[in-house]
Structure 1
Amino acid sequence: MVDLVDVVQTLTTPHPLDRYLELIRPTLTARRMRAEVTHVRRSTPGSVTLTLRPTRQWRGHAAGQYVQIGVVIDGIRHLRCYSPVNPESRRDRHIQLTVKAHTGGLVSEHLYRHAAPGLVVDLEPAAGTFRLPAARPDRILLISGGSGITPVLSMLRTLADEGYREPVTFLHYAKSPVLVPHRAELDAIAQAHPNIRIELRYPGRRAADDLEPVTIRSCTEVSGGGYFDYDELERVAPWFADAQTFVCGPNALMDAVRKVFEAEQLADRLHTEEFTLTTVPVDDSDVHGAVSFTASGVRAANSGASLLDQAEAAGLQPEYGCRMGICFSCTAVRRSGCTRDLRTGETGSDPDQPIQLCVSAPVGDVEIDI
């Protein structure tokens, strides 16, 4: 049976059916998924929490996964990836995103300053392998730092909602108590679930540095002191060797956790999610030649940076999302030349191959179809 939507699409050529439906209502779509912002909360300095109501195509997310949203700014659609903070089994099908406004972050700063109820964004299905397993482990350790709290918080809220009864420790690092999102909910979870231990750390901070009184009563807060190490791990989760551990945060925290788990030969029990790109050093001998953006007729000297950075420096505006090789939004075809994967150092030179601009750098002369 021929898809009725396909039939209608042929009648609406040259534009897709959704182009006409959105003129009636932005969230009225046949195929493309969208979401409308229903609530906006700015309770934490420098971040905003958005509640989104997705269209009927939404199938939910697993705790820890991310979604890609498209935000139109000055007539241009920009894609970004954010991890929902709500439990995976939310019955009203809404999505909660807590977005940290990063300096120079076009979309994050726009949402922090201008997001309001009624805003409609494009939405892609949830994705990512950083997630709680369907069969919950017997013990769970959650570690996060800064804005890396978002996927881990979804895991914590999911376990609390499910009535999970095994030991859970949530260890979070932040600069100050006022910068911890959803602090009141963390307190409520700790009070309601004796098996869940919540530990908040503020390295290098003094009590006098707080902008407001600390109100958390059921979470353990420690100011000053050092960062993550083996002794801290033993204090908060002495059973960690028998647990599954999930960590997301800045590179320094991620590296410290990996170092401990590798030393203890527990790397197979550690699950990580990066939100910044870790790259291998670039060999100066690779930085030569020029990059030709064939579809635009632009040519520029190879600076050694990622192809995404070089395209932007040349005045082009290729589509991108995560800028770290996760979402594949910036994929383009390498027509000729050699490129290096910035994450692994591996090179490739097969012609007419799709590559990710954000994690690829040219080695000598390269032609990219942008």
Structure 2
Amino acid sequence: MHVLTKVKQPFNFFTESVIDLDAVNFWLQKINPLWSSNKALGKIVQKDIAADDMVSVMIQINRNFKFGQAGQHHPVFVAVNGIRYERTYSLTRLNAQHVLLTVKKVNAGIVSTWFSEQAEVGQLVEFGLPYGEMTVPKTASPLVLLAAGSGITPMLSLIKEMSKTQQLKEQPVKLMYWVKNKSDAAFLARFENIASHYANFSFHVFYTQALPADARVNASHAALVTDLANSIVYACGPSGFTAAAEEHFAAAQNVQTEAFSMSALVNDDIGFVNVTLLQTNKVVSIPKGVPILAALEQQNIKPKHGCRMGICNKCACNKAEGATKNLVNGAQNTERGNLLKLCVSSAQTDLVIDL
């Protein structure tokens, strides 16, 4: 009886035979910056202006990169002034070796400012595993895409994938896109090109600070959808936008939203509450009305976190006691034993959390 053995490739044998992967990666990257035994790395190969304060960077990825589904998000890690930061962005797959990352610069945004002003061709970024539920629907129901600002990036990915697979020939897709001014609109030439090839695809851009100004998302926009009750609605943008989309498009067959930043809510929360951390039996005092994650970080407590948007669930922990408010939609949570997303929740009463 012959025994078959698997012959290891030299690269795999080398990486599996040593314990210090950081040392392995150091020497591999001396040969090629994208080589790594275990890290998903990308190299910026092109940088373009997509719109006002918005850049698109084409990134060459290595063999460890895991492509997500169209519409999903990737954790992106960059080093700015020697400090490692994690942010979450939606990527568009260009081909087997390249992805497109589009970033809108935000005030006081360390990572978005780095991409806009400092990132250069040849620099490296690192990626985490993709996540997110707003992917290409498996049914042929009409699809309505609502985007505000940089919320357009996952919509581009979805539309591109549906055109690639010819799903746009069979499934109606309507895109509504809100920006402040015409100079803020991104990817319009791409959408116009897709619309010229697919009769099922249509798009409309609303300019909320133009003269005359278009209205923000409201019931009149829902009325533009001829078969809303049988439609699937995806919305991506600031939390105020997604909350309004949920309200006005509630009659749809299914509504999914993703908020990438928290809009200012009316906040009359004042004072402080005590938070008991069960894993360390430590009690800290934090202010009401601010994200619990940020408040704990001010106390030099560093919970695990990721997107800071309430999507990835890396910061989620069990709430044993107390009341909280969701800062994205204002929902109250007073029940025990619920999962608490620290990045988008504020304390309303004293809390006991499994952290």
TM-score, normalised relative to structure 1: 0.76
Q: Distance in 1 between matches of 2:120 and 2:216?
A: 37
Q: Distance in 1 between matches of 2:109 and 2:335?
A: 31
Matched letter for residue 55 of structure 1: N
Q: Distance in 1 between matches of 2:134 and 2:274?
A: 38
Q: Distance in 1 between matches of 2:61 and 2:186?
A: 23
Matched letter for residue 242 of structure 1: N
Contact 1:244 1:270 in 2 (8 A): yes
Look up the SS of the partner of 2:193 in the other structure.
Answer: helix
Cα distance, 1:70–1:339 mapped onto 2, change above 3 Å: farther
1:51 equivalent to 2:51? Answer no
Counterpart in the other structure of 2:155: 152
The alignment's C-alpha RMSD in Å is 3.9
1:101 equivalent to 2:86? Answer no
Q: Distance in 2 between matches of 1:152 and 1:36?
A: 24
Q: Distance in 2 between matches of 1:198 and 1:349?
A: 44
Cα distance, 1:138–1:225 mapped onto 2, change above 3 Å: same
Look up the SS of the partner of 2:144 in the other structure.
Answer: strand
Pairing 1:173-192 to 2, within 5 Å after superposition:
173-192=178-197
Q: Distance in 2 between matches of 1:366 and 1:6?
A: 48
Q: CA deviation at 1:74?
A: 1.5
Q: Distance in 2 between matches of 1:349 and 1:233?
A: 37
**Structure 2, unpaired ranges of 5+:** none
Counterpart in the other structure of 1:209: none
Counterpart of 1:224 (choices 210, 213, 218) is 213
For this pair of structures, how many residues does the alignment match?
A: 340
Counterpart of 1:121 (choices 112, 119, 125) is 125
Counterpart in the other structure of 2:82: 75
Counterpart in the other structure of 2:226: 238
More strand, by proportion: 2
Contact 2:15 2:37 in 1 (8 A): no
Contact 2:62 2:97 in 1 (8 A): no
Q: CA deviation at 1:170?
A: 1.0
Contact 2:136 2:162 in 1 (8 A): no
Q: Distance in 2 between matches of 1:106 and 1:319?
A: 19
Identity %: 22
Q: Distance in 2 between matches of 1:258 and 1:311?
A: 30
Counterpart in the other structure of 2:244: 256
Which is worse superposed, 252-261 or 339-348?
Answer: 339-348
Pairing 1:228-307 to 2, within 5 Å after superposition:
228-235=217-224, 237-262=225-250, 264=251, 266=252, 268-277=253-262, 287-289=272-274, 301-304=285-288, 305-307=290-292
Matched letter for residue 179 of structure 2: A
Q: Distance in 2 between matches of 1:106 and 1:155?
A: 28
1:27 equivalent to 2:34? Answer yes
Q: CA deviation at 1:282?
A: 8.7
Q: CA deviation at 1:3?
A: 12
Cα distance, 1:21–1:132 mapped onto 2, change above 3 Å: same
Contact 2:40 2:127 in 1 (8 A): yes
Contact 1:169 1:198 in 2 (8 A): yes
Q: Distance in 2 between matches of 1:138 and 1:59?
A: 29
Contact 1:137 1:244 in 2 (8 A): no
Q: Distance in 1 between matches of 2:301 and 2:85?
A: 14
TM-score, normalised relative to structure 2: 0.79
Cα distance, 1:337–1:46 mapped onto 2, change above 3 Å: same
The one-character-per-residue Cα deviations of 1:175-215 (angstroms, maximum 9, x if unpaired) are 11110111221222222323211111113411xxxxxxxxx
Q: CA deviation at 1:98?
A: 0.8
